[in-house]
């Protein structure tokens, strides 16, 4: 009986170890990569192959005495008008972050030093993260192994079973 329980614990542990863990983590984007937030850089090209998801962060690095990070509406973005900004993300250090916490367009410009006219403007569309991938179906060899335990077509394990298996596993490790 103990051998059967040990086999069941091993099968469950192998199944859990093989199951993919999908974790969606927020990403911190350094705007402009190693060129940072500077004039004469095409930020449209920089952003074109990237996907910006809810709770990502934009990290701006720039010369604090010359430029800033201002959020404006689309019309002011097109015309490089920093009057009446939606938000001023500049904190004075030249190392500023924008938390993308709403799914929408963010229109960001440098409103000082002529930066926007020099190309310092960024338009990003923030999307919801994609759903996690669907788990792969159980292969036939694993299905046959499960059928020996009498649950080939329905694989449901209550939480209590994991507790029992964990306790048994601890007992086996103590005797080894």
Using the predicted structure, report yes or no on whether residue 53 has a pLDDT greater than 90: yes
Q: Where residue 89 falls among pLDDT bands split at 50, 70, 90? A: very high
CA distance 52 to 103: 9
Strands 121-127 and 28-30: unpaired
Among 20-34, 125-139, 151-165, which stretch is predicted with the lowest mean pLDDT? 151-165
Count how many Cα atoms sit within 13 Å of the Cα of residue 82 in the half-sphere of its side chain: 19
Q: Is the pLDDT of residue 147 over 90?
A: no
Helix (H, G, I), strand (E, B) or coil at 78: helix
Q: CA–CA distance from 71 to each of 12, 78, 86, 117 (Å)?
A: 51, 12, 5, 15
Show me where the domains of the chain are located.
26-125
Average pLDDT, the chain: 78
Strand partners, 96: 60
Q: What is the pTM of this model?
A: 0.62
Superfamily of domain 26-125 in the CATH hierarchy:
Cupredoxins -  blue copper proteins (2.60.40.420)
């Amino acid at each position: 009986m103990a051998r059967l329980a040990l086999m069941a614990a091993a099968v469950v542990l192998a199944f859990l170890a093989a199951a993919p863990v999908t974790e969606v983590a927020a990403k911190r984007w350094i705007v402009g990569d190693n060129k940072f937030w500077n004039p004469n850089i095409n930020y449209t090209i920089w952003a074109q192959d990237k996907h910006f998801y809810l709770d990502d962060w934009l990290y701006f690095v720039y010369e604090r005495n010359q430029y800033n990070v201002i959020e404006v509406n689309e019309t002011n973005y097109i015309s490089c008008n920093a009057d009446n900004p939606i938000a001023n993300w500049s904190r004075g250090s030249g190392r500023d972050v924008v938390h993308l916490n709403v799914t929408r367009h963010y229109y960001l410009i440098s409103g000082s030093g002529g930066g926007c006219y020099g190309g310092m403007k960024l338009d990003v569309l923030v999307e919801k993260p994609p759903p996690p991938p669907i788990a792969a179906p159980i292969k036939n060899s694993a299905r046959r192994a499960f059928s020996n335990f009498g649950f080939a077509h329905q694989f449901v394990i209550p939480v209590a079973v994991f507790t029992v298996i964990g306790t048994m596993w601890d007992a086996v490790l103590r005797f080894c």
